[in-house]
Amino acid sequence: MNRLQRIVLRVWQAARDHPIAVITWVIILVGWEVAAHIVPESTIEQAPLVPSWEYVFNDSLKALSGGWTHDFWAPVPQTGGESTYLGAFLALADHTQATVVRLGVGLFFGVTTGVATGLAVSYFAWLRMMAWAPLNLLRMFPLLAAIPLFQFWLGGTLKGTTVFIGFGVWVLLVVATINSVSNVPDRYIESARTLGASRFHTYRSIVIPAAIPELRTGLLLSAGLSWSLAVGAEYIGATNGLGNILSVAEFTTNTGRMMIIAVMISVASLSSFFILNSLFNRLVRWMPKAPASVRLNRVTTTARSLGGAPNE
Amino acid sequence: MVQENVESRSANDVTFDSLWCVFEHRSGRLVHALEDVSFTVPAGQFVAVVGRSGHGKSTMLRVLAGLQPPTMGTAAIDGVPVLAPSAERSMVFQQDTVFPWMDVRDNIEFPLKALGMPKNERLAISDRTLEQVGLTDFADSWPRELSGGMRKRVALASVMAAGSNVWLMDEPFGSLDYFTRRNLHELLLEIWRETHKTIFFVTHDIEEALILADRLMLVRDGKLVHDMPVDLPRPRDEDVRASPEAVSITKAILDELGIEDDSSEIDTSEADS
């Protein structure tokens, strides 16, 4: 059996095992196509309100190759080259890569500094008293509305977008870390203290590891949030990235392209969710295995949280 | 043997001196968790603290552990007042307190790490302790891979490794089944015979108290209402526990703790929940 046959067999088995999922997908895809044909025609030429699949894959997708500017691997339409699917995928990958870099850097610094700040605030009572009011204010801060402010301060560069993403993630993780620490069962702390551990030793080797499992939700939320923030920041001020080509698509009312980008963002966001989740699972491999019902519940909760970030 | 006892007695007497512990309930009512409690326990004694739930047994242990400051009076070990938790007075809790992110050996070595002991010394102690509690083959296991009884052995081993002279055990075996509990009684008595630590063992199980203790303290409404020796021969097997002496102790406990007004107790607890 060759590779292709194996893949086909796998897909067929998955479809057979999950008939309801297959039916759902068929309804969505067919329903979309039906909608494309029954909605009134748009007043703007070349911009259907609901683009049909044929329009999406032929016109919109191929036209994306216009964004490919390197003179290797695929022809460059800007200098008279042909529009190709390869060029379209390369352009899409190029912009995705730009967004992923911003997001990765911002997410990394946001998570590390956020957790560090949360741990410090939890440990020092004076810091807690100092930080309480500003933190609660920041939690409610409309992040997307602050994009112009960040751009004004730092420019629409890599620095500007990463600092912005990092800031949003930082706020989320500080609050999540403080909550996780306060949820550590007293009995672990008391047991450690009567075994002779100092307050600092108890914090370092008991409170922090005990708080980690609770950080999962905050961490996965931050993955979803960082995508919203990255795309939002690029949408307003960046010369590349998925958010940037989305704003271009809006400018040309290219509905098909908007759809392609939206799907791309969803796929990327979902991947980052699974990557973070599996990294996290390795970190907490000592945890008792949750029963299947709890696990399922956890996945649906986090999947839901991915859909809409709280600061939007 | 006797000589040894006398020596250690002068070293580590545990005393409560007119100790009060008063809490403010959410309703604003003052709750006397402990009321004017005084006693002296010589080093090496096995004391069972018996009483109903919510009558102050656990508070007594928490004060001794340094987890709960008294409102008035002092708790002291060898004349030194208890002010904060210390490895001198380790506690085995009713709930599972084995740290789930450390394997069994790391759990046992935790108090030694807290002391900053070098690795080879820690290893020697944890090896010996693992053998004493019968967990040598499980040194690398995660707590989630162990049964409840085995996790209690780990908790016990951590306290042993900490080198405490006073062990505070707050209904440690309460959640275990009868047979596991009996095995752990055997283990605890064996270790106690070897080390002669001072043990405070809180329980509401009269049989458990009779199996284990030298001395019984009955606590009711925060007051130490009865303090009596358990002069039964060891081992305290079924025959000993069925002897007239044992039965009269059981009767005394039941009289003192007021079995007769049990119905009113049930009524209030139901109203609470």
From the CA of B155, how many Å to the nearest CA of chain A?
A: 9
Contact A195 B110 (CB under 8 A): yes
Beta bridge partners of A66: none
Nearest partner of A217 among A310, A120, A301, A113, judged by Cα: A301
Q: How many angstroms separate the CA atoms of B252 and B258, rounded?
A: 10
Average per-residue pLDDT for chain B = 88
Asked if pLDDT for residue B265 goes beyond 80, the answer is no
Q: What's the confidence (pLDDT) of residue A288?
A: 61
| Residues on chain A touching B85 (C-beta within 8 angstroms) | 190, 193-194, 196
pTM summary value: 0.79
Neighbours of A175 (CB within 10 A): 19
Work out the burial of residue A230: count CB atoms within 10 Å of its CB; fewer than 13 is exposed, 13-18 middle, 19 or more buried.
Answer: buried
pLDDT mean over A205-219 = 91
A55 within 8 A of A256, measured Cβ to Cβ = yes
From the CA of A190, how many Å to the nearest CA of chain B?
A: 7
For chain A, first and last CA: distance in Å? 49
For the ranges A48-62, B59-73, B97-111, which has the lowest average pLDDT? A48-62
B30 within 8 A of B208, measured Cβ to Cβ = no
Question: What one-character DSSP code corresponds to residue A108?
Answer: H
For the ranges A58-72, A132-146, B156-170, which has the lowest average pLDDT? A58-72
Measured CB to CB, residues of chain A less than 8 Å from chain B are: 185, 187-188, 190-198, 201, 205-206, 209-210, 212, 284, 286-289
Mutate to test the interface with B, among A189, A190, A195 (most CBs of B within 10 A): A195
Q: Which tokens hold the place of A28?
A: 């969505």
Question: Residue A187's pLDDT band (boundaries 50, 70, 90)?
Answer: very high
Asked if pLDDT for residue A297 goes beyond 80, the answer is no
pLDDT mean over B209-224 = 93
Question: Residue B200's pLDDT band (boundaries 50, 70, 90)?
Answer: very high
| Residues on chain A touching B117 (C-beta within 8 angstroms) | none
| Residue for token pair 């069925």 | B242
Q: How many angstroms separate the CA atoms of B91 and B97, rounded?
A: 10
In the Cβ-directed half-sphere of B225, how many Cα atoms lie within 13 Å?
A: 18
For the ranges A61-70, B38-47, B150-159, which has the lowest average pLDDT? A61-70
Note the ipTM here: 0.87
Q: What's the confidence (pLDDT) of residue A257?
A: 86
Q: How many angstroms separate the CA atoms of A159 and B121, rounded?
A: 51
B88 within 8 A of B164, measured Cβ to Cβ = yes
Polymer length of chain B: 273
Q: How many angstroms separate the CA atoms of A188 and A190, rounded?
A: 6
- The H or E element containing residue A200 is helix A199-202
Q: What's the confidence (pLDDT) of residue B267?
A: 40
Q: What's the confidence (pLDDT) of residue B270?
A: 37
Work out the burial of residue A182: count CB atoms within 10 Å of its CB; fewer than 13 is exposed, 13-18 middle, 19 or more buried.
Answer: exposed
From the CA of B182, how many Å to the nearest CA of chain A?
A: 24
Asked if pLDDT for residue B152 goes beyond 80, the answer is yes
Residue with more model confidence, B260 or B163: B163
